[in-house]
């Protein structure tokens, strides 16, 4: 059985850890509210923009002649795994890594894979692999501004348009609620065909200045919006995952404290009992003389 000093040190250590996890939970909760508001506001805009693009394209002929919709033989693939900069958020980061490795094994076997990590954890992980990396956007979450996100999206779009890559995929956590996040592997480029035979448009559109101009304006905006949505989804998911992890860690620390305090009391009681027995034994020994 551990002595009183060791048990007391463990109790002090667990109390300090519990205070840290509780504070981290509160910080994540505050950040989550802001991140959740952003993604909730972003989703309707993204859906509406896509709907407008689909409707305008379906109402026109030749909507699939876009550079961002060109389908080529898949030889070179760009994967963009989106993680956090910090840990202590459960399986949030490891799930993205697993999904990336699974996609490489099952869907891109034989293709030349390039990784564009976003988030320090993603960069640290893929530094240990032999895949070529584009590291210029790994610190995106240090300054999560629309300009920086647009620059990352533009890089992927320009590289695809120039023929450097045949496909581009985003791998990120999609936010559902505080306790639930789903890993998504989403095709970013080439974009899905916006006009199909099944699309029926009942509205006659008058397009000014021209269909080509509107499509050329809407498509890059829609792609950048898709990229921004993935970043915001991941950001909200990170804070939700960290809040859940820290809440569970705080509960576990509380349970451990109960066990340690019980152990401390038992150890203290045993020590007092031993002292009493020694005193009684000493008194009996003196009385026997």
Q: How confident is the model over 181-201, as a mean pLDDT?
A: 70
When pLDDT is cut at 50, 70 and 90, the band that residue 277 belongs to is: confident
* Cα 90–chain centre separation: 10
Q: Which of these ranges, 60-74, 94-108, 188-202, 236-250, has the smallest mean pLDDT? A: 188-202
| Res. 174: pLDDT tops 60 | yes
DSSP track, 132-183? -B--TTTTGGGG--HHHHHHHHHHHHHHHHTTS-SEEEEEEEEEEETTEEEE
Identify each DSSP E strand in 106-251 by its residue range. Answer: 112-115, 167-177, 180-189
Token pair in block for residue 170 = 């985003």
| pLDDT tens-digit readout, 2-19 | 688 888 999 999 999 999
**With 90 as the cut, is the pLDDT of residue 160 above it?**
yes
169 confidence band (pLDDT: 50, 70, 90): very high
**Residue 144, CA atoms < 13 Å, CB-side half-sphere:** 18
24 pLDDT more than 70: yes
What CATH class does 22-195+212-245 carry? alpha beta
Ranges of each domain in the chain: 22-195+212-245
What are 127-146's pLDDT values in tens digits?
999 999 999 999 999 988 88
Q: Is the pLDDT of residue 105 over 80?
A: yes
Instruction: Kindly report whether the peptide bond that precedes residue 209 is cis, defined as omega within 30 degrees of 0.
Output: yes
Residue 199: pLDDT band with limits 50, 70, 90: very low
- Average pLDDT of every residue of the chain: 87
Active site residues: 89
Give every CB contact of residue 282 below 8 A, 6+ residues apart in sequence: none
Strand residues in the chain grouped as ranges (E): 76-81, 112-115, 167-177, 180-189
Task: Give the total residue count for the chain.
Answer: 289
The confidence band for 271, taking pLDDT boundaries of 50, 70 and 90, is: confident
Q: What residues does 251 pair with on adjacent strands? A: none
Banded pLDDT at 194 (limits 50, 70, 90) = very low
Cβ pair 197, 60 in contact under 8 A: no
> Residue 281: what pLDDT?
83
- In this structure, the number of other CB atoms found within 10 A of the CB of residue 185 comes to 16
Q: What is the mean pLDDT of residues 61-81?
A: 81
State the Cα angle at 153 between 150 and 159, rounded to 5°. Answer: 135
The residue behind tokens 């026109």 is: 60
């Amino acid at each position: 059985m551990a002595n009183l000093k060791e048990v007391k040190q463990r109790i002090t250590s667990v109390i300090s850890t519990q205070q840290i996890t509780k504070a981290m939970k509160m910080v994540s909760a505050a950040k989550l509210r802001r991140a959740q508001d952003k993604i909730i506001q972003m989703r309707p805009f993204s859906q509406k923009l896509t709907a407008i693009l689909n409707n305008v394209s379906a109402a026109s002929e030749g909507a699939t002649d876009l550079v961002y919709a060109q389908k080529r033989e898949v030889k070179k693939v760009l994967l963009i795994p989106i993680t956090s900069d910090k840990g202590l958020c459960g399986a949030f980061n490891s799930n993205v890594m697993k999904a990336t490795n699974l996609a490489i094994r099952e869907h891109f076997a034989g293709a030349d894979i390039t990784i564009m990590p976003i988030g320090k954890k993603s960069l640290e992980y893929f530094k240990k692999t032999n895949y070529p990396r584009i590291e210029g956007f790994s610190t995106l979450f240090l300054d999560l501004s629309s300009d920086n996100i647009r620059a990352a999206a533009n890089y992927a779009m320009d590289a695809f348009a120039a023929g450097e890559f045949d496909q581009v995929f985003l791998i990120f956590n999609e936010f559902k609620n505080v306790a639930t996040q789903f890993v998504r592997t989403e095709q970013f480029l080439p974009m899905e065909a916006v006009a199909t035979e099944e699309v029926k448009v009942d509205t006659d559109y008058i397009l000014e200045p021209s269909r080509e101009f509107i499509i050329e304006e809407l498509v890059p905006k829609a792609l950048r919006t898709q990229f921004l949505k993935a970043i915001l989804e991941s950001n909200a998911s990170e804070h939700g995952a960290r809040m859940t992890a820290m809440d569970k860690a705080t509960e576990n620390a509380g349970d451990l404290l109960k066990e340690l305090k019980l152990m401390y009391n038992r150890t203290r009681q045993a020590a007092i009992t031993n002292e009493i027995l020694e005193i009684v034994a000493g008194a009996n020994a003196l009385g026997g003389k």
